[in-house]
């Protein structure tokens, strides 16, 4: 059994997706399936329950996942020790991120990282915001990416980027022909929102209240991809980060309309655990993500030294 096989298995459990695990490990989906079957033959146990809607680990799969995560963590520690003997950064950096940022804000940076540091692997784990804070705090992720960051004593926040918020509608909607729209004009309209406990939802709710608009929430979702699909089929309009709808706007399946009341943005921050020494691989990721900005890099090094 190879380390790579354990990593593939853990990625399937984390992402609930064979295709996503294949992408993370730069192998085919067929290769992922073969490795999972090899593990099941080795342990003579079914490790994953596969249904049309989800992939879930069995009881035996949960035990293997916990043990495998511990093995991988020790392996990464060994790589960090060994890389101290080498000038070139190497190893895997676990990045916990919300879906909209992981899918739409950093993919070009991941490609840049691979070009500039081919021995560094960025492992993306998609989680809700509250889970990301916990993962970084516990050391289960090397860094996190969250929207509307909140203060936690054990974490340091490094400003990453800001997303402009726009009104998003299907192309046959009456708003689609407008360049801008006041938020007050959304009063009473059918609206697809993020789930109530998500930071972006809370921020948009405050914005709508401030401008006297009470929308009719027809659906609340925790994933920007499913939220966009709901808007596309006419369940309601929404307010979303512009970066997350570029593909659909270019394809003509969604239309973005600027907010007439001003420019409103969603701040994104990188989370690091305070006092945790940065590995060379994590430093390499930060250099790429922060575009070698000296002030932000100095803040990260100072807070984690």
Per-residue pLDDT tens over the stretch 214-235: 999 999 998 899 999 999 999 9
Contact 69, 10 (CB under 8 A): yes
Among 119, 145, 97, residue whose Cα is nearest residue 284: 119
**What gap in Å lies between CA 5 and CA 258, rounded to an integer?**
47
Where b means 16+ CB within 10 Å and e means fewer, 191-221 reads bbbbeeebbbbebbeebbeebebebeeeebb
> Has this prediction a pTM greater than 0.85?
no
Per-residue pLDDT tens over the stretch 23-36: 888 889 899 999 99
Mean pLDDT for 251-268 is 96
**CATH class of the region 162-266:** alpha beta
What does the mean pLDDT of the chain come to? 91
CATH code, 1-85: 1.10.10.10
Contact 239, 189 (CB under 8 A): no
Mean pLDDT for 112-125 is 92
Q: What are the residue ranges spanned by the domains of the chain?
A: 1-85, 162-266
Per-residue pLDDT tens over the stretch 30-71: 999 999 999 899 999 899 988 766 788 999 999 999 998 888
Q: For residue 262, report the phi and psi dihedrals to the nearest 5 degrees.
A: 150, -175
Q: What six digits make up the tokens of 53? A: 């809607």
Among 69, 68, 17, 23, residue whose Cα is nearest residue 42: 68
User: Residue 86: is its pLDDT beyond 60?
Assistant: no
Q: How does DSSP classify residue 237?
A: B
Q: How does DSSP classify residue 230?
A: H
């Amino acid at each position: 059994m190879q380390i790579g096989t354990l990593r593939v298995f853990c990625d399937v459990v984390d992402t609930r997706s064979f295709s996503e695990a294949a992408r993370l490990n730069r192998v085919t989906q067929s290769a992922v399936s073969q490795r999972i079957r090899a593990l099941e033959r080795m342990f003579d146990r079914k490790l994953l329950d596969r249904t049309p809607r989800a992939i879930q680990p069995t009881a035996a799969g949960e035990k293997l996942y916990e043990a495998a995560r511990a093995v991988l963590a020790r392996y990464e520690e060994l790589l960090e020790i060994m890389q101290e003997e080498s000038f070139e950064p190497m190893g895997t950096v676990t990045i916990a991120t919300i879906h909209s940022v992981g899918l739409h804000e950093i993919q070009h940076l991941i490609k840049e990282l691979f070009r500039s540091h081919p021995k560094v692997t960025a492992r993306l784990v998609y989680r809700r915001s509250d889970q990301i804070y916990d993962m970084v705090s516990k050391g289960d992720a090397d860094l996190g990416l969250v929207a509307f960051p909140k203060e936690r004593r054990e974490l340091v926040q490094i400003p990453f980027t800001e997303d402009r918020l726009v009104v998003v509608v299907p192309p046959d909607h009456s708003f689609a022909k407008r360049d801008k729209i006041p938020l007050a004009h959304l009063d009473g309209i059918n609206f697809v929102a993020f789930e109530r406990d998500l930071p972006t939802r809370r921020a948009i709710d405050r914005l709508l209240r401030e401008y006297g608009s009470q929308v009719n929430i027809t659906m609340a979702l925790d994933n920007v991809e499913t939220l966009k699909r709901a808007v596309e089929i006419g369940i309601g309009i929404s307010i979303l980060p512009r970066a997350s709808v570029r593909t659909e706007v270019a394809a003509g399946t969604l239309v973005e309309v600027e907010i007439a009341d001003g420019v409103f943005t969603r701040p994104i921050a990188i989370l690091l655990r305070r006092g945790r020494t940065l590995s060379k691989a994590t430093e390499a990721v930060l250099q790429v993500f922060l575009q070698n900005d000296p002030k932000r890099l100095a803040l990260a090094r100072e807070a984690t030294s």
